[in-house]
Amino acid sequence: MAKKITSKSEDFSQWYQDVIREGKLADHSPVRGSMVIRPNGFALWENMKEELDQMFKDTGHENAYFPLFIPKSFLSKEAQHVEGFAKECAVVTHSRLKSVDGGVEVDPESKLEEELIVRPTSETIIWDSYRNWIQSYRDLPILINQWANVVRWEMRTRLFLRTMEFLWQEGHTAHATKEEAVAETKQMLEVYRTFAEEYMAMPVITGVKTESERFAGAEDTYCIETLLQDNKALQAGTSHFLGQNFAKAFDVKFQSSEGQHEYVWATSWGVSTRLIGGLIMTHSDDQGLVLPPKLAPNQVVIVTIWKNDEQKEAVLDYCNDIISDLKQLGIRVKLDDRENMSPGWKFNEHEAAGIPVRLTVGPRDLENSNVELARRDTGDKNIVDREGLAERVDTLLDTIQDELFETAKERIQNNTHSVDSYEEFKEIIENEGGFVYAHWDGTAETEEKIKDETKATIRCIPLEDGEEGECMVTGKPSKQKVLFARAY
RNA sequence: CGGGGAGUAGCGCAGUCCGGUAGCGCAUUCGCUUUGGGAGCGAAGGGUCGCAGGUUCAAAUCCUGUCUCCCCGACCA
């Protein structure tokens, strides 16, 4: 058997790419850094989207859509924001092409009066609208989310984790008070934590970013951070308290119940197709993708085996019966009755696609009233009774979901360290990687020095209070240990 | 932007050093046999060798230029 997936231990980066290819999640497109999301990958995204969308709606948000193009001038209205994004914007300068010698070139006469930016994020275009929507405190809060694509002209890309164009959701809310906006920011962080842990089975640390890692234009950036199987960290989602920065930049004021004119308070929050990269690097193995049952497009696949038409009919009847039982319990099941393809080939294909449970049904099973049941995550394979099968599978899916989370949590715990000296810190970062808690004096200078010397960054300042101590580098006072790691 | 690698059939690659009929594996199509961990045999289809110049009787191969992609860095809510 040809080995199609490079082992994780041999070359993690190659493994990651192989898993994506074999799982048919995405392809590189002809344009650098952009990808084609294939049906398997998109179905996964749709499931994630569906769950998140419901969670947003349950917390009072509604969906809307704002344009892809943003006038260039909008980007410059918020000083920090432009600084953060200016270097990675795609700019539309012309509106048409013309034919030249069988090819096409940009028609210089179609140059735009004002160039358009392809949105790298939508704060500016949205706050321009909010100005028109908000006059009174009675118009607040505005709780809007949009599902969209954005473009960031990244130097270095990687499928799902960082692509030039990616899919995401971005929530943009407007509030009458600071307290309300801060509460919203924290609420959405909690939504993200819940989604990551309960649906993706991906344990995360919640915290707040340091000033240097903060979103361009935010007062505070809250985040969920996870640790992947190569012991590098991934920022999986962010929720920003934007203060009054965008309200001031776009002149969005409201009249309070006391008749005062005040600037509106803002938040924004987002997660992207990057989550799929995180999901892959959290659970998958050398056989390919491993998906948590709650998000798997297909939770169960049934592989059929027969040797003649008579058997075929009996096997299909048997399978349809099973499918109907599974569907009654709301289980997503797919029948793989393709002929001219060996069972072994199918097993490998479904494993690479990460389907959590596989049932194999052949003449032997019909005779004995049972089926073969295999778990994707552990590789366990058993013959089980047909009787009570649907309930057994239903329970098993829950078990797999829980165990994936527990396994990942244990792995992260085993790779989380707490140190007191810089020597120890450097040693761990260099040799083992993982999360490292350490005291830091709170200055950007020290943070920068640590980054230069070790490539480790402060992933977040954890939300839980920690013990006071002294900075591992400068010895100055530190309120609590912060979380360091090398990150994607 | 630095370092490395690669552009040859749908995919993965060999051939390039040393110029001479463009190949292999997988996939595809057809036929038969198969099916409990990537099936076998037989037949068939599929190529401006990234692009542009140059050298030569002759270029995938040598020379010059150029474009693109991937990987590792630097950078990056």
Q: What is the pLDDT of residues A290-311, one digit of tens each?
A: 999 999 999 999 999 998 888 9
Residue A108 CB contacts under 8 Å (≥ 6 apart), including other chains: A94
Region at A231 (left for phi over 0; alpha for psi -120 to 50; beta for the rest): left
What does the pLDDT read at residue A1?
30
CATH code, residues A12-68+123-283: 3.30.930.10
d(CA A329, CA A311): 28
Q: Scanning the structure block, which residue is given the tokens 């709780």?
A: A143
Protein chain A, residues 73-92, with a C-beta closer than 7 Å to any atom of nucleic acid strand B: 84, 87-88
Q: Which residues of A335-362 are buried (b: 16+ CB within 10 A; e: fewer)?
A: bbbeeeeeeeebbbbbbbbbbbbbbbbb
Burial (Cβ within 10 Å: 0-12, 13-18, ≥19) of residue A388: exposed
DSSP bridge partners of A37: A26
What does the pLDDT read at residue A155?
83
Q: Looking at chain A, which residues constitute the CATH 3.40.50.800 domain(s)? A: 300-411
pLDDT digits (tens, 9 = 90+) for A331-362: 999 999 988 789 999 999 999 999 999 999 99
What token pair was written down for A363?
Answer: 């003449």
Specify whether the CB–CB gap between A217 and A209 falls below 8 A. no
A303 nearest nucleotide via C1' and CA: B36
CATH code, residues A416-485: 3.30.110.30
Q: Which nucleotides of B are covered by protein (CB under 7 A)?
A: 1, 33-39, 68-77
For the domain made up of A300-411, the CATH class stated in words is alpha beta
Which pLDDT band, with edges at 50, 70 and 90, does A2 fall under? very low
Specify whether the CB–CB gap between A95 and A108 falls below 8 A. no
Residue A314 DSSP one-character state: H
Tell me the backbone φ, ψ of residue A116, rounded to 5 degrees.
Answer: -110, 140
What token pair was written down for A371?
Answer: 């089926």
A338 touches strand B (CB under 7 A): no
Query: Nearest 5 degrees, angle CA A186-CA A187-CA A193?
Result: 90
Instruction: Tell me if the pTM is above 0.90.
Output: yes
DSSP string computed for A361-415: E-HHHHHHTEEEEEETTT--EEEEESTTHHHHHHHHHHHHHHHHHHHHHHHHHHT
For residue A61, give the 3-state DSSP assignment: coil
Burial (Cβ within 10 Å: 0-12, 13-18, ≥19) of residue A465: exposed
| Alpha-helical segments (H) within A134-220 | 178-194
What does the pLDDT read at residue A205?
96
Residue A54 CB contacts under 8 Å (≥ 6 apart), including other chains: none
Residue A260 DSSP one-character state: -
Tell me the backbone φ, ψ of residue A444, rounded to 5 degrees.
Answer: -65, -30
What token pair was written down for A359?
Answer: 């049932």
Q: Looking at chain A, which residues constitute the CATH 3.30.930.10 domain(s)? A: 12-68+123-283
Protein chain A, residues 389-408, with a C-beta closer than 7 Å to any atom of nucleic acid strand B: none
Taking 90 as the threshold, does the pLDDT of residue A240 lie above it? yes
pLDDT digits (tens, 9 = 90+) for A457-486: 999 999 988 899 999 999 999 999 999 999
Distance from CA(A230) to C1'(B17), angstroms, rounded = 39
Q: Looking at chain A, which residues constitute the CATH 3.30.110.30 domain(s)? A: 416-485
Average pLDDT of the residues of chain A? 93
Distance from CA(A335) to C1'(B37), angstroms, rounded = 18
What token pair was written down for A397?
Answer: 């899916």
A9 touches strand B (CB under 7 A): no
Distance from CA(A340) to C1'(B28), angstroms, rounded = 14
Task: Give the mean pLDDT of A380-392.
Answer: 97
